[in-house]
Chains A and B, each alone.
Chain A
């Protein structure tokens, strides 16, 4: 009889999979590919509307590119600290895992604060979600990206509290890696958005 412990283990905890990639990692990759299509819908919308002739100011009239470049740089640096957190968990250095997770979350929070500041500035200069089609597509595209950053921060903070309680060890490196994949993806999407929205001239 094969009714031993190993056979009863929930399948996703088995070490061997048909492709060799773990279930969790495969799932996050597929999930990120669906996110590409989700952002793709909003990026295409923005591209379609960015040059439209309309009444009222468009986001392009009120950009502060140096300011957004700084917050973008901060977000990119958070990818670096994310990698350092992964390297730390692989070494089993839980103290540094905590430091780098907290740093990643903090950089993400800084970026979000910058975005909220930018949004309020835009609104005070007369560009809101209901001004015209370019402004709607700007606010929704960057807003949905901001929402993803916020979800990422919550995810990282959950991991941070696990680390505080010493519930992570080097065996859990994949847990950090998967969160990292999501975080890097959100960063890469921002690079695309930054180029499309701020850098390509109208």
Chain B
């Protein structure tokens, strides 16, 4: 067992040792060499630094998206609200959705994947470090490009799914005057390039770079979920890129993809978009499911209940996710056969999702629970995600869905999945892996405050939207009249949004204070199960001094504990023959 006291080999030495021979091999492109300080963040190809870059950038964009959300809620605080004009409101909800999905959620998942996948499978880096770097900078460029639209020619205002013919009508005849939609189309295409490169990298890394003995069915569930996510991303992004190209050509080069008078069919865009868009939903939630599948076993001191079932239901979601897209289009008149088929497939996809929920509960049953902040957020994830999942199944019922389409019920549903689900899981992941990444513990008291304000604020914001939706309040409408009975619930919702803001501020304060002054973390502060905890905190550039030799699932746990004759758990002596890092030598 290596301890904190043992210094990892100095970073500079490692690079210097490698530099001369690398230089002679690579005449054309000199490898970037800064390893410390400010410039190292621009030249780095280390998966851990790139992971931190992804996370930091995603947090900045989350603040932007959060401010947009607050402006929306302020506008809706009172009937006939006057905070924003109708046009500004359109830009706000478009950019809120686009920012949160493409500039916060996906990059944050990529951040976790980047940092953790090589550590969890016992690799020294991802398969293509420079492609990894390229993916990050493509994401940053796309994000800045998209956000710069506020200053240069007007922000996108056609909704985050940019339906045709609204978005595709030529600029001159424009339903949407201004360059906003062009910014949106081009920005998403750029982001798609970044997503495909990072996902390609993940796939090759996970399939090819595993340590000896790390078979597929010994991989941590998080790695499995990232593998499924990466496959979904590389297959989904090209489809939407195709649709975006068609919109761009229609707008700017008078093509006729979606012009009804010349033989076009605007519904084609919806099919292409949701053929990407529904797998996208799973691209967003599967990493979160992976994160809680790591956190729950550690704080229950039990292995994950039904590992194989969790993995296979994740894979099943990955496959079935391709067959449900038209439930986003039930109100478009796609015909009774399509309605029935997609209703059935949508009901079916709830099954593997439900299975996972029981697996997480099963993991906690009978466990020695430690209610850390990471654990609280994971439990919160299960509860909130279940509510979001249940309201989701309602959408499989066509007559109900027709009533709910384009109302606040839909907004309530997907925020329960993406905020109560995905974002809760991300925060759980932050609290859980923060000691590994920064070598310091986060403050648990502030953490509890963070959790409870978040839980209350989240439900205060989004639960009333279920009722508002059933009462008929439409989405994407910048004002509502007084006397419809919507005022009180909208006010609750706005108050909740500010409580969420408070909670996020607590989180940021906690993160920054802990990063600077938090108590030093040991290598394995949570008594965890997976390989990343067997190396130092933070890990050295090369991750592992010796590439680990894996003998079982939760290998690191079995290096620490064994069973006695009566099946009781016994700690192995630290530094013993079975101790960390030295196992399997000889």
**Segment 22-47 of A: residues with Cβ below 8 Å from B:** 23, 26-27, 30-31, 33-35, 37-38, 40-42, 45
Contacts of B123 in A (CB 8 A): 11
Residue in B257, B259, B262 whose CB lies within 8 Å of A45: B257
* Chief secondary structure at chain B's binding surface: helix
Q: How far is the CB of B211 from chain A (nearest CB, A)?
A: 9
Say yes or no: A54 contacts B265, CB within 8 Å: no
CB pair B208–A3 under 8 Å, yes or no, is no
The listed residue (A7, A18, A27) touching B210 by CB distance below 8 A is: A18
* B492 on the A face (CB < 8 A): no
Check if A113 is an interface residue, CB within 8 A of chain B.
no
B536-551 residues at the A interface, CB under 8 angstroms: 542, 545-546
Counting CB contacts under 8 A, is A21 at the interface?
Answer: yes
- Asked, given contacts A31-B200, A136-B256, whether A10 binds B129 with beta carbons under 8 Å apart, the answer is yes
Contact of A48 with B204 at beta-carbon distance under 8 Å, contacts A3-B9, A23-B128, A132-B256 already known: no
**Contact partners of B237 in chain A: CB under 8 A:** 34
Indicate if B79 sits at the interface (CB-CB under 8 A). no
Pair B234/A34 contact, Cβ less than 8 Å: yes
Residue of B nearest to A26 (CB): B204
Residues of B with C-beta under 8 A to A7: 124, 542
Q: Does B329 contact A (CB under 8 A)?
A: no
A45 to B125, CA, bound (A): 40
Q: Which of A11, A54, A55, A131 neighbours the largest number of chain B CB atoms within 10 Å of its CB?
A: A11
Contact flag A133-B257 (CB < 8 Å), given A23-B208, A45-B268, A54-B263: yes
Complex CA gap A26/B230 in Å reads 14
A137 on the B face (CB < 8 A): yes
Instruction: Tell me the residues in window 21-70 of chain B with beta carbons closer than 8 Å to chain A beta carbons.
Output: 21-22
In contact, B238 and A132 (Cβ under 8 angstroms):
no
- In contact, A133 and B259 (Cβ under 8 angstroms): yes
Of the four ranges (under 10, 10 to 19, 20 to 34, 35 or more), the interface on chain A belongs to 35 or more
Q: Mark B89-130, 1 if CB is under 8 A from A, else 0.
A: 000000000000000000000000000000000011111110
Answer whether A18 and B207 are a contact pair too, CB < 8 Å, given A11-B125, A48-B268, A132-B263. yes
Q: Are A129 and B207 in contact (CB under 8 A)?
A: no
Judge whether B14 is part of the interface by a CB distance below 8 angstroms.
yes
Q: Give which listed residue, A26, A30, A38, A137, contacts B239 with CB less than 8 A.
A: A38
Q: Are B208 and A135 in contact (CB under 8 A)?
A: no
User: What range describes how many residues of B lie at the interface?
Assistant: 35 or more
Complex Cα distance A41/B276, Å?
Answer: 11
Contacts A17-B208, A140-B246 given; indicate if A132 touches B262 (C-beta within 8 A): yes
Q: Are A134 and B263 in contact (CB under 8 A)?
A: yes
Q: Which residues of B contact A37 (CB under 8 A)?
A: 235-236, 238-239
Kindly state whether residue A119 has any CB partner on chain B within 8 Å: no
**A49 interface residue per 8 A CB criterion:** yes
* Closest residue of B by beta carbon distance from A55: B262
Instruction: Take A26-B204, A45-B268, A55-B262 as given contacts and tell me if A38 and B241 are in contact as well, using a CB distance cutoff of 8 Å.
Output: yes
Whether, in the assembled complex, B209 has its beta carbon less than 8 Å from a beta carbon of chain A, the answer is yes
A166 CB–B CB distance under 8 Å: no
CB of A33 within 8 A of CB of B242, answer no
Interface set of B (CB-CB < 8 Å, partner A): 9, 14, 17-18, 21-22, 123-129, 196, 200-201, 203-204, 207-210, 214, 234-239, 241-243, 245-246, 249-250, 253-257, 259, 262-265, 268, 272, 542, 545-546
Give 4 new A-B contacts, CB below 8 A, not counting A18-B210, A136-B256, A139-B255: A5-B17, A27-B200, A129-B254, A136-B246
Contact surface of A with B, Cβ cutoff 8 Å: 1-3, 5, 7-8, 10-12, 17-19, 21, 23, 26-27, 30-31, 33-35, 37-38, 40-42, 45, 48-49, 52-55, 129-137, 139-140, 144
11 examples of A-B residue contacts, CB within 8 angstroms: A11-B124, A18-B210, A27-B127, A37-B235, A38-B241, A41-B238, A48-B265, A133-B257, A133-B263, A133-B265, A140-B246
Question: A-B pairs with the 5 shortest C-beta distances?
Answer: A41-B242, A38-B238, A133-B263, A52-B263, A54-B263
